[in-house]
């Protein structure tokens, strides 16, 4: 019926198919064990452990074990450690109970999309996840469904040596927990202790890692001695991290990487980690970091870098780190109302723009309070209190660093300079109080056209360190600034001073003198030393560019009620009485010369005249009294002589 040739062809075609079918059955039985219902001691779970090839219902429990990968697979339903242990008939090679509510996991656990693993203190007080560096083994819990951990203690373990594995090198295998890509559920971790998890294997092995898990909550935990305390990557988002202690990590306390978004980090204490407390490595957005304590970390308290933008940092205490916060190659981050104490640099801006640094207290920095560096532009530094910096309170440096604005800051009591301009231009300082710094309040080197506007000076010290630098002082509300060999150029609504190398070192003082020309301008070339404190004599030298400019002078510093003699080019022009309710006097001048010296001199002449008149009146009264007395005596003498 069949020729030999047909039989041979049929054998060639059919034998491989038969072989594949046989191997498939062998692989199925050796790789996975499917059980219907082996939970004979608990009728509640009967018929909920079903065969893998059926379509499970939502409430059914599906478990299987893969021998080659040594993995427990939760494919459907909700299970806990007791359920798994009963399922495998107390197989200690898979999961061993070592005491009441104490377990050693000697396999991986994989939670699929429809599965939920619940690890809680009801039946799991302690879970040790096995790892063995000698055999390069580190078991894990990987979730693509729901993982709920509450009120338990989870640590890496070495069953061979019966001890916690030490991270001898970063590659030493240790157990880890990983929420996988595109997880269908959440990983909620609460009220638990996690120790000694993670190693440098791949990006999912770093301890407690989230690649997804929208809506997850990590709260009230202690996380100690992990590789990373917590690790988020690959677009993980919408996770809340609240009220945890994260400490002694081999690297970062919290590591945010690769497009991590919408993470709330609130009320945690993150300390004594071997690198940074919180780091956003790349493209982290909408991260809220609020009310945390970040202290004694070897690296940086908070690091935003490589396009990490629109993040919000508020009301944190950041203390005793190599650096408080660093923003690098990122933009539009808000740093508000934080306390920076005894860090290297308090705040470091590098190659960044459009950030707002507002209302922070920055004290006892070991280097700079605020360091704006390396092409950082258009940042706003405002309402900050920057005190007791070891180097400068604020350092603005690098030729590409410009157009930054510092407004209403208090920069004081530094061990070196208050503010340092170094190779920078076109930055604006407005209404800052910079005083009582040990060396100079301002140090200016190779920097031009930086502006100080609307600011008050109280013997503020300026040091221009080279022959090319300058600084422009303007918009002082027409208040005259006193200093060494400086000229105030006063316009109708503006006063401008340019400090240049000729003013190598000077102290500036805002005086109680306002000059208001009605048109053009006037140059105030000199005022007498200590114009404000001298209560008796004030001198102003001025030069006009043209004739006929009406100018109003408002001069303070006299005692209320005193009288002031006004001299114009040594000629007496007016006598003014200072109002009892204020200590200023006004004088108006329309110039008919180009240069003037105005002198305001306290005079006692009217008082002296009054005294002289009183003395004369008294003398006249005495004379009249004496004359009358003498006349009366003469009358009495005459009467006596008549009687005789």
pLDDT tens digit sequence for 131-143: 877 778 899 999 9
pLDDT tens-digit map of 5-26 = 444 433 433 433 333 333 233 3
Tell me the pLDDT band of 611, cut-offs 50, 70 and 90.
low
Tell me the pLDDT band of 51, cut-offs 50, 70 and 90.
very low
The first and second tokens of residue 161, run together, are 């040596």
Tell me the pLDDT band of 126, cut-offs 50, 70 and 90.
very high
Q: What is the rounded distance in angstroms from the CA atom of residue 406 to the CA atom of residue 394?
A: 10
Q: Which residues contact 56 (CB under 8 A, 6 or more apart)?
A: 50, 62, 75, 76, 77, 114
pLDDT tens-digit map of 152-167 = 999 999 988 899 988 8
Contact 426, 401 (CB under 8 A): no
For residue 119, give the 3-state DSSP assignment. Answer: strand
Q: What is the rounded distance in angstroms from the CA atom of residue 504 to the CA atom of residue 465?
A: 7
Q: What is the rounded distance in angstroms from the CA atom of residue 336 to the CA atom of residue 184?
A: 36
- pLDDT given at position 533: 65
Task: Give the mean pLDDT of 511-516.
Answer: 90
% of the chain with per-residue pLDDT over 70 = 86
The first and second tokens of residue 44, run together, are 């509640």
Task: Give the mean pLDDT of 311-325.
Answer: 98
Tell me the pLDDT band of 59, cut-offs 50, 70 and 90.
low
Task: Give the mean pLDDT of 625-643.
Answer: 70
* Of 275-284, 419-428, 621-630, the least confident: 621-630
Task: Give the mean pLDDT of 168-177.
Answer: 93
- pLDDT given at position 493: 83
- pLDDT given at position 580: 75
* Of 337-351, 416-430, 536-550, 624-638, the least confident: 624-638
Tell me the pLDDT band of 616, cut-offs 50, 70 and 90.
confident
The first and second tokens of residue 381, run together, are 């530094």
* Of 65-74, 385-394, 578-587, the least confident: 578-587
Q: What is the rounded distance in angstroms from the CA atom of residue 252 to the CA atom of residue 270?
A: 10
Helices (H) and strands (E) in the chain, counts: 3, 60
Average pLDDT, the chain: 86
Q: What is the rounded distance in angstroms from the CA atom of residue 334 to the CA atom of residue 357?
A: 6
- pLDDT given at position 501: 79
């Amino acid at each position: 019926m069949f020729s030999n040739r047909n039989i041979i062809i049929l054998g060639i075609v059919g034998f491989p198919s038969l072989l594949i079918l046989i191997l498939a059955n062998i692989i199925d039985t050796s790789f996975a064990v499917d059980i219907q219902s082996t939970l004979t001691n608990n009728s509640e779970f009967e018929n909920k452990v079903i065969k893998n090839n059926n379509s499970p219902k939502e409430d059914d429990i599906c478990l299987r074990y893969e021998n080659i990968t040594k993995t427990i697979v939760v494919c459907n339903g909700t299970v806990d450690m007791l359920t798994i242990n009963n399922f495998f008939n107390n197989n200690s090679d898979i999961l061993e109970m070592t005491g009441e509510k104490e377990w050693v996991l000697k396999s991986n656990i994989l939670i699929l999309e429809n599965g939920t693993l619940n690890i809680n203190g009801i039946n799991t007080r302690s879970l040790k996840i096995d790892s063995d560096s000698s055999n390069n083994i580190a078991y894990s819990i990987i979730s693509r469904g729901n993982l709920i951990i509450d009120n338990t203690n989870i640590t890496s373990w070495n069953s061979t040596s019966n001890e916690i594995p030490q991270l001898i090198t970063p590659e030493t295998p240790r157990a880890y927990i990983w929420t996988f890509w595109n997880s269908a559920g959440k990983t909620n971790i609460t009220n638990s202790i996690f120790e000694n998890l993670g190693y440098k294997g791949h990006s999912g092995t770093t301890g407690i890692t989230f690649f997804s898990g929208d809506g997850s909550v990590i709260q009230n935990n202690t996380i100690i001695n992990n590789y990373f305390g917590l690790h988020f990557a690959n677009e993980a988002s919408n996770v809340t991290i609240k009220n945890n202690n994260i400490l002694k990590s081999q690297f970062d306390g919290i590591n945010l990487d690769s497009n991590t978004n919408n993470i709330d980090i609130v009320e945690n204490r993150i300390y004594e980690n071997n690198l940074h407390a919180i780091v956003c490595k790349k493209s982290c957005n909408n991260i809220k970091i609020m009310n945390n304590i970040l202290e004694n970390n070897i690296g940086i308290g908070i690091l935003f870098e490589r396009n990490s933008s629109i993040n919000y940092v508020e009301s944190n205490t950041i203390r005793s780190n190599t650096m408080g916060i660093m923003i690098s190659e990122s933009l539009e981050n808000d740093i508000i109302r934080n306390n920076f104490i005894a860090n290297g640099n308090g705040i470091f801006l590098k190659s960044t723009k459009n950030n707002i640094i507002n209302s922070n207290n920055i004290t006892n920095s070991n280097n700079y309070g605020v360091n704006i560096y390396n092409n950082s532009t258009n940042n706003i530094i405002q309402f900050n209190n920057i005190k007791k910096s070891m180097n400068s309170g604020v350092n603005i440096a690098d030729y590409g660093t410009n157009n930054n604005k510092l407004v209403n800051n208090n920069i004081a009591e530094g061990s070196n300079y208050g503010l340092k301009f170094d190779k920078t231009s076109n930055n604006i300082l407005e209404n800052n109080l910079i005083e009582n710094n040990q060396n100079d309040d301002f140090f200016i080197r190779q920097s031009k056209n930086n502006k100080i506007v609307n600011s008050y000076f109280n013997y503020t010290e300026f040091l221009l360190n080279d022959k090319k630098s300058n600084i422009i002082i303007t918009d002082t509300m027409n208040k005259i600034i006193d200093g060494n060999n400086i000229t105030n150029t006063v316009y109708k609504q503006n006063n401008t001073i340019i400090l240049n190398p000729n003013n190598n070192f000077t102290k500036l003082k805002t005086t109680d003198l306002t000059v208001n020309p009605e048109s053009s301008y006037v140059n105030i070339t000199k005022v007498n030393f200590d114009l404000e404190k001298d209560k008796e004599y004030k001198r102003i030298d001025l030069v006009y560019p043209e004739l006929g400019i009406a100018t109003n002078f408002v001069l303070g510093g006299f005692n209320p009620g005193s009288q002031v003699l006004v001299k114009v080019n040594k000629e007496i022009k007016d006598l003014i009485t200072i109002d009892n309710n204020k200590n200023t006097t006004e004088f108006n001048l329309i110039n008919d010369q180009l240069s003037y010296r105005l002198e305001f001199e306290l005079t006692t002449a009217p008082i002296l005249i009054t005294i002289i008149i009183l003395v004369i009146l008294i003398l006249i009264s005495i004379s009249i009294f004496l004359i009358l007395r003498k006349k009366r005596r003469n009358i009495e003498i005459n009467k006596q002589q008549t009687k005789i």
